[in-house]
Amino acid sequence: MMWLMPEIVPARVSPYRSRRSAVQNPTIAEKLNDVADLLELEGANSFRVRAYRNAARTIESLTQSLSDMVERGEDLEELPNIGKDLAEKLTALVNEGELKQLQELKQRVPPGVLDVLRIDGLGPKKAATLWKELGVTDLDQLQAAAESGDVASLKGFGKKTAEKILANIDRVSDRRFLRVDARNMLEPILETLRAADGIDQVSPAGSYRRRRETVGDLDVLVTAKESKVAMDTLADHEIVVETLSRGDTKMRVRLENDLELDLRVVPEQSYGAAMHYFTGSKAHNVRVRRRGQERDLKINEYGVFRGDERIAGATEEEVFEAVDLRWIPPELREDRGEFEAAEAGELPDLIELSDIRGDLHMHTTASDGKNSIREMAEAAKQRGLDYIAITDHSKRVSMANGLDAKRLRKHWKEIDEINADLDGIEVLKGIECDILEDATLDLDDEVLSEGDWVIAVLHYGLKQPSKQIMKRLLAAIENPHVHAIGHPTGRILEKRPEAEIDFGEFFAAAKEHGVLLEINAGPERLDLDDVRAKAACEHGIPLVINTDAHSTRGLANMQLGVDQARRSWLTKSDVANTRTLKQFQKLLRKS
């Protein structure tokens, strides 16, 4: 089971091998994406580039180690998007630790050009132009060229492009990692530390523990009889590629994907205080220390002190009790009302993964999914779900083999036939229908009226002015056949900004017309974000947490959506798909 418990990452059997030489799935996927980026920079065939990107997505979604599969002699060609050539290259990568093709490409392209690619709005073609015409091979040179006017003078760029580069360059310099990528690196390390002799308590801290959607680095706290044991265990871990610093009680290392991790060994009597301090956030900790000062207490990572006497700190509960508060879940520690709620006894009973009964956004082989209707249903049933909605793409998304009316009706008929002999789970006939740039829907009302569940989404034209974006969203909300707006802002974390939405108007319209809003649990989306999801809830709008799974493995993303909902202060009753199917259907508007 890939889902994590909301508070503490449970010990489990690692999908990674214990031998030092194993290459981890995220690292393999990153190398494949680097190949794709470099091929694009060189102007390679688009189908060839796409093959590497598709393969990377396959590896990212694997629940078992590719290295283990190679060691067992399994046929990699049975994996989606992996043909004979890629299977051979992946096998070589696992066995040798490097991808020969990537090394050859890196010799031809300066490494800093890949950083230039991460700037919003700079695709491979523009990055290649900057490199070949201006000699831009890193972010410093890019900034200088943008400030000097050289970028604006290039054909196809202009002043606006130069301004956008300068506005976004700091975001690339301050690199952040998706939560799922951090999780895939951290889990094997936590497991190894917990299993080591001489280590007693182990827990992540920092923004990861607060379930933020991206992290800058990782923090892990342990108690151990000897700090050397914990540090040696970490230093010897297969995912650690470099020890950056090491002292008596603190150690910093760099992991395979360049994510850095701080390990701190703390005394048992200070464990709770250290957990609170290093979990943060900074704003939350300032408020706690201030409350301590008002009670003549000093609070730091070592404990709670009255004068020189330590009076609390072995557990987090002790720290909160010292300042007359009940324990506050880490997800809420952002100084966004948690103190007032705690004082009033109104902290929410946050939603749990086990509360989810349905998943209402997923894809099959009818469009760009990797599994059939039946396979998705059976996999969802195994995860304890009572109902799902199959929501393949509408025809506008042609690159994903989107469905026109004829194919959609045939698809829905197949769902009816499968439902007839399925036990223990119900499959709703759904569609992910594009809201077109001209504010019409991608399918006619006559067709949409035949479905059980219609999600309307923005996929294209996300850079349109706010007025047109709102016209599109309102048209979808006012359509009597639309039940929900999926991934409302259209953002892609660390890659694509959100569309310009007037959220006051958006929420008011959704509330008025009984349209639900989605927290999309896709690792790169997590859309709505925590602030907007909380606001939607305060407007009285039911939310749905959906995986947007494109394979049976993708159903595991539900935990990421639940994490986002917990940061949004959501309870079980705030989320529509915690209800039984009959209760859920009563919430839906009637067309």
Model pLDDT, residue 18? 36
Residue 187 has pLDDT above 90, yes or no: yes
Grade residue 63 by pLDDT with cuts at 50, 70 and 90.
low
Q: Do 157 and 236 share a domain, yes or no?
A: no
Residue 6 has pLDDT above 60, yes or no: no
Grade residue 7 by pLDDT with cuts at 50, 70 and 90.
very low
Q: Do 103 and 136 share a domain, yes or no?
A: no
Residue 446 has a CB neighbour count (10 Å cut-off) of: 9
| Six-digit token string for 378 | 């059976």
Asked if residue 12 is part of any domain, the answer here is: no
What average pLDDT does range 405-409 have in this prediction?
Answer: 97
- Strand boundaries in 484-541, DSSP class E: 484-485, 516-520
Model pLDDT, residue 11? 32
* Domain termination residue (choose one: 211, 243, 265): 265
Q: Do 339 and 465 share a domain, yes or no?
A: no
Residue 417 has pLDDT above 60, yes or no: yes
Instruction: Identify any residues that bridge with 387 across adjacent strands, giving them in sequence order.
Output: 358, 426
Q: Residue 279 contacts by C-beta under 8 Å, 6 or more apart in sequence? A: 205, 206, 209, 210, 330, 333
Average model confidence (pLDDT) across the chain? 91
Asked if residue 544 is part of any domain, the answer here is: yes
Amino acid at 415: I
For residue 15, give the DSSP letter. Answer: S
* Domain termination residue (choose one: 248, 265, 282): 265
Residue 446 has pLDDT above 70, yes or no: yes
Sheet containing strand 309-312, strands side by side: 298-300, 303-306, 309-312
Model pLDDT, residue 3? 33
What average pLDDT does range 257-261 have in this prediction?
Answer: 91
What average pLDDT does range 558-582 have in this prediction?
Answer: 98
Asked if residue 49 is part of any domain, the answer here is: yes
Q: Do 442 and 455 share a domain, yes or no?
A: yes
Asked if residue 499 is part of any domain, the answer here is: yes
pLDDT: which is higher, 103 or 516: 516
pLDDT: which is higher, 10 or 136: 136
Q: Do 428 and 482 share a domain, yes or no?
A: yes
Q: Do 441 and 534 share a domain, yes or no?
A: yes
State pLDDT tens for residues 327-347: 999 999 999 999 999 999 999
Q: Do 410 and 527 share a domain, yes or no?
A: yes
Residue 168 has pLDDT above 50, yes or no: yes
- Domain residues for 131? 112-173
Lowest mean pLDDT, pick from 86-100, 195-209, 316-330, 457-471: 86-100
Q: Do 422 and 560 share a domain, yes or no?
A: yes
The CATH number assigned to the domain holding 302 equals: 3.30.210.10
Asked if residue 1 is part of any domain, the answer here is: no
Backbone φ, ψ for residue 571 (5° rounding) = -105, 175
Q: Are 484 and 430 in contact (CB under 8 A)?
A: no
Total residues belonging to the chain: 591
* Domain termination residue (choose one: 70, 89, 108): 108
State pLDDT tens for residues 284-305: 999 999 999 999 999 999 999 9
Asked if residue 385 is part of any domain, the answer here is: yes
Grade residue 516 by pLDDT with cuts at 50, 70 and 90.
very high
Q: Are 102 and 31 in contact (CB under 8 A)?
A: yes
Report the C-alpha gap between 398 and 46 in whole angstroms: 16
pLDDT: which is higher, 513 or 129: 513
Mapped onto helix, strand or coil, the DSSP state of residue 212 is coil
Model pLDDT, residue 96? 87
Asked if residue 6 is part of any domain, the answer here is: no
Report the C-alpha gap between 189 and 24 in whole angstroms: 12
Residue whose entry in the numeric block shows the structure tokens 């966004």:
336
Grade residue 20 by pLDDT with cuts at 50, 70 and 90.
very low
Q: Do 279 and 309 share a domain, yes or no?
A: yes
Residue 514 has pLDDT above 60, yes or no: yes
Amino acid at 390: I
Asked if residue 557 is part of any domain, the answer here is: yes
Q: Do 120 and 64 share a domain, yes or no?
A: no
Q: How far is CA 367 from CA 51, 62, 79, 430, in A?
A: 17, 20, 18, 13
Q: Do 400 and 335 share a domain, yes or no?
A: no
Grade residue 50 by pLDDT with cuts at 50, 70 and 90.
confident
State pLDDT tens for residues 84-93: 999 999 999 9
The CATH number assigned to the domain holding 446 equals: 3.20.20.140
> Total structural domains in the chain?
5
Q: Residue 380 contacts by C-beta under 8 Å, 6 or more apart in sequence? A: 359, 388, 425, 555
Report the C-alpha gap between 579 and 587 in whole angstroms: 10
Model pLDDT, residue 17? 34
The CATH number assigned to the domain holding 83 equals: 1.10.150.110
For residue 34, give the DSSP letter. Answer: H
Sheet containing strand 358-359, strands side by side: 358-359, 387-390, 426-434, 453-457, 484-485, 516-520, 543-546
Q: How far out from the chain centre does Cα 218 lie?
A: 16
**pTM surpassing 0.75?**
yes
Residue 47 has pLDDT above 90, yes or no: no
Q: Do 533 and 429 share a domain, yes or no?
A: yes
What average pLDDT does range 395-404 have in this prediction?
Answer: 93
Residue among 474, 472, 473, 480 at smallest CA distance from 454: 480
